[in-house]
Structure 1
Amino acid sequence: MTDAGEGRGPEAAQTPFDASERRAWAGRAAAYAAGFGRLCAYTVPRLLDAAGVTGGTRVLDVGTGTGTAAAAACARGARVTAVDAEPDMVRSAAAAAPGAAVQVAALPRLPFLDGAFDAAVGNFVLNHVGRPGAALAELRRVTRPGGRIALTIWSAPPAPGQALLGRAVRAAGVPRPPDIPALAPEDDFPRTEDGLAELLRTAGRLTGVRCATVSWEHRTTPEEWWRGPAAGVATIGRVVTSQGPATAERIRRHFVDLATEFTAPDGQLVLPHAALLASGRVGA
């Protein structure tokens, strides 16, 4: 077995999309955890189930963020290693999952031996890598034959609740800043059940691939839901903050107006979301 990560750190494989993602998330662990982190936590139990994570499983949580999946896997008695590209996230994950080994690392170059893990999971990590196919190939490399890989991504087109902030940006007439690159066409794939399943079969060369849509209603408040973008969290946050406070306030006003569609009698927002959950097994 070899350490395929030796001598070729994350920067060696970084695309313009990856570099943009690093800037988007730098120093924003607390802002993410206070809003979008609660949203993303919903899929974690199903993700771990799909990967077969139980007591004693050697599991890699890649793109761990603030450590929600790592902590949940530790609670199941798994032997957890967790990585993230952002040092601020790693510090938060280490505090949230003290039983896990947490370190800085990024797809598609991981510093682990071939077949080091029984399972690998990534909760929405494929939304944030510039080369999803290469990322799948790397996860396959570090997972032993017979082990399972499970991943979630946001589906496209987005569910109504997920689209709310983008609608506010468009209503305000704010364009996507030119310094936020899109994924290269040759690296992209359909964000559908069939599209994600095919990526696992081809780039990941996984067998027994399954993919299903997970739908839920995320309950939050208008203040909480706006706080993340206002702090520059994720791509939507970079768009909101890209043209100064006056533009951000214009977007916020449109957000408040549009949010009434999703406001419950108690004043909370009830936001329909949908994600894709796919899994497969590494062949011999």
Structure 2
Amino acid sequence: MQTAFDESERRAWAGQADAYAASFAELCACPVPGLLDAAEVREGARVLDVGTGTGSAAAAACERGAKVTAVDAEPGMVARAARAAPGADVRLAALPRLPFADDEFDAVVGNFVLNHVGRPREALKELRRVTRPGGRMAFTVWAVPAAAGQALLGRAVQAAGVTRPAHLPALVPEEDFPRTEQGFAALLGDAGLRDVVCDTLVWDHRTTPEEWWSGPAAGVATIGQIVTSQNPVVIAEIKDHFESLCAEFAGPGGVLVLPHAALTAHGRA
């Protein structure tokens, strides 16, 4: 059931909830309001937030008066999400098999979760199964090619001559899809969603060099796994390149202004 990619993701995110919360979580929360709007999340709606992470979408859905269930595959994320969204039913569960009945939810949202599953089409079909006929489904993924701010850390790694280690498998080609508006919309359509629309969200994320480096330094996400798998000399070289490249994004007061772009796609079950 689990692919090599899935197993690698489980290992990569194990115990990383606090480091993620301190580095990349605020960035990833930016699309949440639009995601909930696209899924028509409103008072009384039965909502599933899949791959909830630190619970930003679950908490925002609770604030709208929805009846929220949230799941994540990492126990540390479940604990943080439960604190962030005390009104939600937060559970440990992982795609592509969820412990819910057919047609259980009025709306399903997944904020960047499809970046982290080995079979995105199968995952979407499972999410359509638990959504009632006519219910709304909305998802985000990072756009490719990456926006300049998102590419910063990867550029630092590349400048140090580091490549992706063999123990971090990429998504197999037959499961991948174009990370474009057309490609993401087609993915949802292939899973049986109707009236699919995909838009690009562009924004500037403001952070500091210290905060932005803390994620990869702790091993958060694929970029962090690449960084921390190197020896200390190479890690120091990557950090030197990172600090030099930060000058391109320097704002007032030592703030980094990092342009990002994500795809938001939604449709009806």
Whether 1:197 and 2:185 are equivalent positions in the alignment is yes
Q: 1:175-204: per-residue Cα shift (whole Å, max 9, x none)?
A: 11100000011100000000000011112x
For residue 265 of structure 1, report the CA deviation from its aligned partner.
2.8
Using structure 1 for the length normalisation, give the TM-score.
0.94
- Rounded Cα–Cα distance in structure 2 between residues aligned with 1:245 and 1:153: 32
Q: Alignment partner for residue 171 of structure 1, among 159, 165, 168?
A: 159
Select the residue among 124, 138, 142 that pairs with 2:130. Answer: 142
Q: What are the residue-to-residue correspondences of 1:34-183 with 2, within 5 Å?
A: 34-183=22-171
Q: CA shift at 1:246, angstroms?
A: 1.9
Q: What SS is found at the alignment partner of 2:31?
A: helix
CA offset digits 1:155-178 (Å, max 9, x no partner): 000000000000000000111110
2:13 paired residue number: 25
The equivalent of 1:265 in structure 2 is 252
TM-score (norm 2): 0.99
Deviant stretches of 4+, over 6 Å: none
Q: Distance in 2 between matches of 1:135 and 1:273?
A: 25
Distance 1:213 1:130 in 2: 23
**Deviation at residue 240 of structure 1 after TM alignment:** 0.5
- 1:199-223 per-residue CA deviation (whole Å, 9 max, x = no partner) reads 11112x1111000000000000000
Question: Aligned partners of 1:44 and 1:67: how far apart in 2?
Answer: 10
- Secondary structure of residue in 2 paired with 1:130: coil
What SS does structure 1 have at the residue aligned with 2:70?
strand
> Partners of 1:107 and 1:193 in 2: how far apart?
23
Alignment-derived partner of residue 194 in structure 2? 207
- Listed one character per residue, the Cα deviations across residues 18-77 of structure 1 (whole Å, up to 9, x for unaligned) are 000001110010110111000001000000000000000100000000100000000000
Q: What is the percentage of aligned positions where both structures have the same residue?
A: 70
Q: Distance in 1 between the 2:233 and 2:106 partners?
A: 50
Q: What one-letter code is carried by the residue in structure 1 that aligns with 2:237? A: R
Amino acid at match of 2:213: W
For residues 231 and 68 of structure 2, the distance between their equivalents in structure 1, rounded to whole angstroms, comes to 41
The structural deviation recorded for 1:243 is 1.5
Structure 2, unmatched stretches of 5+, are none
What is the one-letter code of the residue matched to 2:233?
A
Q: SS where residue 152 of structure 2 aligns? A: helix
Q: Which moved more, 1:241-250 or 1:208-217?
A: 241-250
Shift of 1:244: 2.4
Does the residue aligned with 2:100 lie in a helix, a strand or coil? coil
Q: d(CA) in 2 for partners of 1:216 and 1:19?
A: 32
Cα shift readout 1:127-182 (whole Å, capped 9, x = no counterpart): 00000000110010000001000000000000000000000000001111100000
> How far apart, CA to CA, are the structure 1 residues paired with 2:183 and 2:35?
18
**Aligned pairs, number:** 269
Q: Which amino acid aligns with 2:146?
A: P
In 2, Cα distance between equivalents of 1:105 and 1:61: 11
In angstroms, what is the RMSD of aligned CA positions?
0.6
Of the three residues 238, 252, 257, the one matched with 1:251 is 238
Equivalent residue for 2:209, pick from 209, 218, 222: 222
Indicate which of 215, 221, 226 corresponds to 1:234.
221
